[in-house]
Amino acid sequence: MRPRLHLWAFVLCLLAEVFALSGCESLHDQFREPPKQEQPQTQQAPDPRSVVNSVHLPFGNPSGATADPGNENNFLLVGGGSVISYNNALGTANWAAWRTTRDDLGDSLRRPPFQTDTRLPRWYKRIGPFDYSGSGHDRGHLVPSADRFGDPRLNAETFLMTNIVPQNRSLNQYPWNDFEQHIRAEVRKGFDAYQIAGVYGNAGKLKDKINIPTNCWKVVVLLKRNSDPSSIDENVRVIAVDMPNQQDLAHEKWEPFRTTVRQIEQRTGLDIFSTLPRGLQQTLETRVEIRSR
């Protein structure tokens, strides 16, 4: 009789231990953190102060420039013919953006004088045309004068010194000018050109005031005439160039300086197509247009 009691006691103990372990596991499950789900990547909302309502900047503000006067090295200037991020420390723009349509082109105008830009806050250093005198550098336009021959007022805006950078004469008069003419030819063929141009690097100073860039770059989006910029897709034409600001470029064409938007972004820290979906940015920014003239 006693051995049988011992056996039942053993069975009951074993069952109690099984139920106890099961209960502990269930209790642990109740407090276990659920597996983390991978969150979809979202684009960070831009600073509302940097949102620009202008036909000249439909794909986003590349540097987050604002009109806050305290933002001296990324100060936003919105004009009738362009949008500019100005850098007071450099004495030049970081970049300028503008749209060129067939209506913007026209017969050559009498050249207006270069002018100090009085839109800048009063305490910013004043850059005048005389600061380039005797320097050996051209007063190089970011927004070309010829892109605004259709309107004398907007043409005069291109001669404000905030639109001017020190360019070596062989760059300004050869591959840079050659590319400007190529884009105007595309506009005459039936495109609207959304352009952004800028500078980077330090090759010295003019009058101890104006930074001489090592490179001048430009990105151009070509949309069919009168197309809404929001219609941009992976089939759009995008041309990017990055040209050294040096002396030995006489008679050079623009094509050897083609590059990708991504390479320009990596060299400048800008986000040129900041409002476009990431996938579309990846497509547009990593290819080089190889179409010939």
Helices (H), 100-226: 152-157, 169-173, 175-189
Tokens representing 45 are 């909302």
Tell me how far apart the alpha carbons of residues 83 and 48 are, in angstroms, rounded to a whole number.
Answer: 17
Tokens representing 109 are 């105008």
Report the candidate in 276, 273, 270 with the shortest Cα–Cα distance to residue 87: 270
| One-letter amino acid of 75 | F
Q: Are strands 210-211 and 205-206 parallel, antiparallel or unpaired?
A: antiparallel
Which residues are CB-contacts of 5 (< 8 A; sequence separation ≥ 6)? none
Report the candidate in 182, 195, 191, 196 with the shortest Cα–Cα distance to residue 227: 191
Q: Determine which one of 28, 137, 141, 182 is catalytic.
A: 141
> Taking the CB of residue 229, how many other CB atoms lie within 10 A of it?
16
Expressed in percent and rounded to 5, the helix, strand and coil fractions of the chain are: 30, 20, 45
Contact 287, 260 (CB under 8 A): yes
Contact 220, 198 (CB under 8 A): no
Q: Which residues are paired to 222 by β-bridges?
A: 193, 237
137 is catalytic: no
List active site positions: 141
